Structures are given as C-alpha cells and as structure tokens.
C-alpha cells in the first residue's frame, strides 16, 4: 500500500525518495507496532547506528554500519557485539559512557570526531554515543552509537580554510594570515622583525618566458624563502611579486642586514625550470619592533613596505630599514599629492619674483617667477616638494598655464625694460600645448614676447622629437627667449647648445656655491663663458650669495647674475616698488644700488 511506512523503503534498502506526506486516512492505517518501526528506521539509516545492551551485545544495527566503520567484511554471520563493528577508540568510548551511566551519571553521553584507518586510508567519523535507561522496574540500560563519515566534508572545509589563509599558487601565507601571526608575536612580547621582498625584473620573465614560467619562478621563490634561516617564519605573498618573512624575535640591525644580504644572494641564484634558466633580482625593506614599543602588525608591515619603497628608489644594496623621519616625509608627500589638484581652485598658489641683475652695475634687468604654495594645514610648500609630483601626475600642465598667465600679468606692472623668466617643465613640452599656452598668456596680458624668457631644464631635450623642435622654433618665432636652466647638473651635452634655438645658459648654483673654494668650479664657469661667447648666447649665473662670488663672475666676464646677494624671491608689489626706487636713483644720481 502506497504511503504506509514499509512502502517508503526502496527495494535495495536505500533511502526512499520523498513522497507526498501521508493523509489522515493513511495515517490511521499505519502499524502501531513502534518496535517494528524503530527497527526499520535503524536498519535503513544512512548513518552507522548501533543499539546495544549494557554488555555491548548488539540489538539493532544499520546496514550502513560495517561500511562506515570499515569492519565486519571478513565476518561470518551477523555481528553480535559492538566490538565486532566498532573501531577500538569508539568501543572504548562506548564502555566509558556505559560505566559512567551505570554509576549514576544519568545524562552523560559523548560526541565528537575520531579518525580511523580503513584500507590504509584515513577516515574522519563524526559520532555520538547516547546511553538510555528503560522506564520500568528493571530499568535496563542501553546504548546507541551513531557515526557519519565526514572525511570529504572535513577535507573540503580544511582546504577552504587553508586557501583563506594561504595563496593558492605558492602556498605562502596571505596578508591577513601574516598580520595575525605578527600580531600574535607582538603580543608575546618578544619583539618581531619583518622583511618585505619585491622581485626585480619579474615582469620581464612573464613577458619574455611566459606566464607559466613566471608562476614557476614565484613558486620556487616561495620555496627558497620557506627553506631560509629557521629564525624566520612565513613566507607570505603580499602581491604579485612581493613576499614577506618575519622573525619572531628581536634581531639586531646587523643580524637583519646579514640575513637580508643572504636572502638577496639566495633569490639572485638562477632558477632552472624545465630546461629554462631564469634570474630575478630583489629589493628588501625591513622594519623591526622591540618588546615594549607600542605598535601593531599592520603598522609594522606598512613600515617594512615603506622601507621597501626606499630600497627600490635608492641605488646600492637594495636593502633598506624603515626610518621614521623618512616616513614623515612620505606621508607629507602623499598629502601633497592629494591636495595638489585642489590647490588651483582654492587659489593657494602665488608667485615670488627673484631679481636678475646686470653684474657690471647691479641694475635689475629681469626677475624669475618662482611658484609658491600655501596650504591651510600643510603650511608653505616649496616647489622642490611639489613640482616633481605635479610632473608625475600631469598636473604641472595646469599649474604651468596658471604660472604663465600670472607672471605675464604681473610683469605688466613693472618697468617696460624688465623681463620675466618663467620655469617650464619638460612635461609641458611633451604634452604639446606649450606654444598655445604662451601665446594665450601674452595675448591676455599684453606683455611683449621679448620680455618673456622660458627657463627649460636639460631633461626637456633628452628625447628630442620633431614636435619639440617645432615648439621651440614656434616660441622663438613669437619672440620669446629660451634659457637652459641648471646647466651642468644633468647630462650637460654641449650638443644641445648648438642644436636647440637657445638664447641663454643659466649655470647651476652648485658651481657658484663652490666658486671661491673649488678650482674645478671656476674652470667649469670659465669654460661655459667661452662656450656661450662662441655660440653667441648670453650667460647668467644663479645662486650668487657673496660679494666674492660676484667679483669673480664679473672678472671672467659673466654679464648677468641672480642670487640672495641681489634679492630673495619677493612679491610682485615689492619688486615693482624696488624697481621704481631703482629708476628714481638712476635718474637722480646715476647710482645703482645692490640689495643684500
């Protein structure tokens, strides 16, 4: 009859598919023999179910039990005792439960996981042992043992757990697992050091030998790191080609340096991978924590990564320790980068003008515009702190346009024979809008092109393209002068001087600073003077701070100078007032003042 309990068991004794729930009328026709029902349920259970009396004699057993326990295969006849089926550990546990129960600890059962070996393989069983006492005068004691095979489930969970903490490719720890380990270490109070390693030229391996080889290299690197000095734990993989190790103890700076040097050698050694030989370099950043210092894993790792940045930037061993002063500089640099874009809209930029004088009489003939940035929180920020960032982000084009407009506008308030020099970044040339920007600034302000000089550094000429040559020619055609700034500090190829339509060379202050003490600086300036004379260019020396320097430069025939001796960078109104004063003096007495 369909819907009755016996019908719900399939012929092979397996579980019956879910059927419709029985109706009231069918329930009425179900057998009332509960013993029969329980027997059947036990026999059909998908778990191992053993019901036994107080002496371990089996009363009921599920068909699955021998398979789950991996026992009873060679047995003749049906199992009679729990020992016929249960692995030893479970059998002992069952007896323990029974003993406790008999001595009056009524409700004590036991559950848990146990590992058994079946046909040479490990199996994990999830089991429960429940003792029971029949109601009634004799109060007979029974025990029910159930067990499920959870091997696959546990392995999957274990794998997931492993993958959540380890990198799939290399098996190295993931960042959060490394942080946990370091935090634990800091908590132990024994100090901790962290080494962050970044592979150098790894991308080249991926590009030239292919990604599969790249993956093999990464695995091999992780293996080398895992086999490294036992004082170091890990490794962890923090990014594509960035790894970390930590030392769970305080190590001296020398010991860390020595370890990093060894690591560098180990990583540098060629990898021989299925017939291919590959090599990578490495940079290492180190941070260390001493017991008692307040820190956390996140900070320690950040510090090691900052040190790594430094190691990558500076030539040398490729190893750098975290330096707190440098970290303050880096966070300021990051703040500068963030705030720079907003600075134009907030009108935070201004220009300061440094006089340029004729050395023969000290008369001001021009001024260089130097950009200044005043930020509400960061304070006054010098161009050497932000021009490079502005160049890297491309912002220098907007900034440069603003400087050009402001400088041309301001110069209109000065005497008509005073020129204005504006620094132009190579990036402005590379972007290709410089000619249009200059033309617009001249048109808007009404400044004659002859009063504008653009100061360009040598790096603008490193990759001379047709576009660059066209821009330079167009600027000269407008009537603008071009000065080569910081001459002598870069690649200083004399070739530039001939090939590019320059009007002026500006010798770097480095040579002027050492002029009176270093004969080599004197020789350089003298040679540049000869050179500029030969090429028909004018020469200006910057950074003149002393009368001695001025005299020497005058003696060798240098016509123009700039430096604190003649005036520091100042506001346009100050410069305009000074120029008026200069004009008055020239008219009244024919004297020229030199401003110290």
Which of the residues 70 through 99 are near ligand C2E (CB under 6 A)? Answer: none
Q: How far is CA 552 from the centre of its chain?
A: 51
Among residues 194 and 544, whose Cβ is nearest to ligand C2E? 544
199 is an interface residue for ligand C2E by CB under 6 A? no
Shortest Å distance, C-beta 348 to Mg ion: 21
- Contact, 225 vs 234, CB < 8 A? yes
Shortest Å distance, C-beta 421 to Mg ion: 7
The one of ligand C2E, Mg ion, none whose footprint includes residue 471, by CB under 5 to 8 A per kind, is none
Calculate helix-pair angle for 297-313, 175-188, nearest 10 degrees: 120
Shortest Å distance, C-beta 508 to Mg ion: 6
Beta bridge partners of 284: 197, 319
Shortest Å distance, C-beta 348 to ligand C2E: 14
354 is an interface residue for ligand C2E by CB under 6 A? yes
Backbone angles phi, psi at 291, to 5 degrees: -55, 135
Rounded CA-CA distance 544/546 in Å is 6
Among residues 185 and 562, whose Cβ is nearest to ligand C2E? 562
Shortest Å distance, C-beta 485 to Mg ion: 4
282 is an interface residue for ligand C2E by CB under 6 A? no
The conformation of residue 502, written as its DSSP 8-state character, comes to -
Residue with tokens 């004659």: 448
Among residues 48 and 541, whose Cβ is nearest to Mg ion? 541
423 is an interface residue for Mg ion by CB under 5 A? yes
- Contact, 585 vs 591, CB < 8 A? yes
Backbone angles phi, psi at 316, to 5 degrees: 140, -140
144 is an interface residue for ligand C2E by CB under 6 A? no
Rounded CA-CA distance 204/131 in Å is 68
Shortest Å distance, C-beta 354 to ligand C2E: 6
Q: Which of 504, 473, 499, 468 is nearest to 486 (CA)?
A: 504
Q: From the list 337, 348, 545, 574, which residue makes contact with ligand C2E (rule: CB under 6 A)?
A: 545
Which of the residues 376 through 405 are near ligand C2E (CB under 6 A)? Answer: 382-384, 387, 396, 400, 403
Shortest Å distance, C-beta 347 to Mg ion: 23
Which of the residues 406 through 465 are near ligand C2E (CB under 6 A)? Answer: 423, 425, 455
State the residue number with the nearest CB to Mg ion: 455
Number of residues in contact with Mg ion under rule CB under 5 A: 4
Output the CA–CA distances (angstroms, integers) from residue 134 to 131, 138, 142, in the order listed: 10, 8, 8
The conformation of residue 148, written as its DSSP 8-state character, comes to E
Q: Which of 380, 388, 382 is nearest to 370 (CA)?
A: 382
- Contact, 452 vs 414, CB < 8 A? no
Which of the residues 478 through 517 are near Mg ion (CB under 5 A)? Answer: 485-486
- Contact, 349 vs 399, CB < 8 A? yes
Which of the residues 475 through 494 are near ligand C2E (CB under 6 A)? Answer: 485-486
Q: From the list 116, 233, 371, 434, which residue makes contact with ligand C2E (rule: CB under 6 A)?
A: 371
Tell me the chain's radius of gyration from C-alpha atoms: 42
Which of the residues 446 through 475 are near Mg ion (CB under 5 A)? Answer: 455
Rounded CA-CA distance 473/475 in Å is 5
Rounded CA-CA distance 578/354 in Å is 12
Shortest Å distance, C-beta 456 to Mg ion: 9
Q: Which of 457, 481, 344, 355 is nearest to 406 (CA)?
A: 344
Among residues 44 and 391, whose Cβ is nearest to ligand C2E? 391
Among residues 217 and 421, whose Cβ is nearest to ligand C2E? 421
Q: Which positions lie near Mg ion, rule CB under 5 A? A: 423, 455, 485-486
Q: Which positions lie near ligand C2E, rule CB under 6 A? A: 354, 370-371, 382-384, 387, 396, 400, 403, 423, 425, 455, 485-486, 509, 542-545, 562-564, 569
């Amino acid at each position: 009859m369909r819907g009755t309990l016996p019908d719900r068991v399939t012929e092979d004794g397996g579980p019956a598919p879910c059927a419709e729930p029985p109706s009231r009328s069918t329930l009425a026709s179900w057998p009332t023999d509960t013993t029969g029902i329980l027997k059947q349920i036990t026999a059909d259970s998908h778990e191992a179910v053993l019901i036994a009396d107080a002496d371990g004699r089996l009363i009921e057993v599920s068909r699955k039990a021998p398979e789950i326990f991996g026992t009873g295969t060679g047995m003749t006849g049906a199992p009679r005792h729990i020992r016929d089926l249960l692995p030893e550990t479970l059998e002992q546990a069952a007896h323990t439960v029974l003993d406790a129960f008999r001595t009056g600890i009524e409700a004590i059962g036991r559950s848990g996981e146990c590992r058994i070996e079946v046909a040479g393989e490990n199996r994990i069983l999830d089991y429960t042992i429940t003792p029971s006492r029949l109601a009634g005068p004799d109060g007979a004691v029974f025990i029910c043992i159930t067990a499920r095979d959870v091997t696959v489930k546990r392995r999957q969970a274990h794998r997931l757990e492993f993958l959540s903490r380890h990198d799939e490719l290399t098996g190295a720890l993931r960042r959060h697992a490394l942080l946990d380990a370091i935090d634990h270490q800091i908590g132990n109070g024994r100090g901790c050091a962290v080494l962050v390693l970044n592979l150098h030229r790894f991308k080249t391996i991926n590009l030239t030998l292919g990604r599969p080889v790249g993956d093999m290299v990464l695995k091999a690197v992780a293996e080398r790191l895992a086999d490294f000095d036992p004082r170091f734990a890990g490794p962890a993989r923090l990014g594509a080609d960035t790894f970390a190790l930590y030392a769970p103890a305080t190590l001296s700076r020398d010991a860390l340096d020595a370890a990093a040097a060894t690591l560098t050698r180990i990583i540098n050694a060629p990898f021989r991978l299925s017939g291919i030989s590959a090599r990578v370099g490495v940079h290492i950043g180190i941070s260390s924590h001493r017991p008692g210092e307040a820190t956390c894993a996140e900070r320690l790792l950040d510090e090691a990564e900052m040190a790594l940045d430094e190691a990558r930037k500076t030539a040398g061993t490729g190893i750098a320790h975290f330096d707190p002063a440098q970290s303050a500089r880096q966070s300021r640099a990051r703040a500068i980068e963030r705030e720079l874009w907003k600075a134009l809209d907030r009108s935070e930029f201004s220009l300061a003008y440094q006089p340029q004088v004729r050395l023969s009489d000290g008369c001001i003939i021009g001024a260089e515009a130097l950009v200044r940035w005043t930020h509400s929180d960061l304070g006054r920020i010098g161009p050497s702190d932000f021009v490079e960032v502005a160049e890297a982000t491309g912002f220098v084009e907007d900034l440069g346009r603003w400087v050009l407009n402001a400088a041309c506008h301001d110069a209109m308030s000065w005497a008509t024979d005073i020129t204005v020099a504006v620094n132009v970044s190579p990036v402005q040339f590379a972007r290709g809008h410089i000619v249009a920007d200059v033309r617009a600034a001249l048109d808007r302000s009404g400044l004659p092109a002859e009063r504008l000089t653009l100061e360009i550094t040598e790096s603008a000429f490193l990759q001379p393209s047709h576009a660059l040559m066209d821009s330079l020619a167009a600027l000269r055609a407008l009537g603008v002068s071009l000065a080569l700034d910081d001459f002598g500090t870069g690649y200083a190829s004399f070739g530039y001087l001939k090939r590019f339509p320059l009007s002026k060379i500006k010798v770097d202050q480095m040579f002027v600073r050492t002029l009176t003490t270093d004969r080599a600086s004197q020789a350089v300036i003298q040679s540049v003077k000869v050179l500029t004379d030969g090429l028909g260019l004018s020469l200006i020396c910057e950074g003149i701070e002393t009368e001695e320097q001025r005299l020497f430069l005058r003696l060798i025939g240098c016509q123009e100078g700039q430096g604190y001796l003649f005036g520091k960078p100042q506001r346009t109104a100050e410069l305009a007032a000074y120029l008026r004063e200069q004009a008055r003096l020239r008219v009244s007495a024919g004297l020229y003042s030199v401003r110290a």
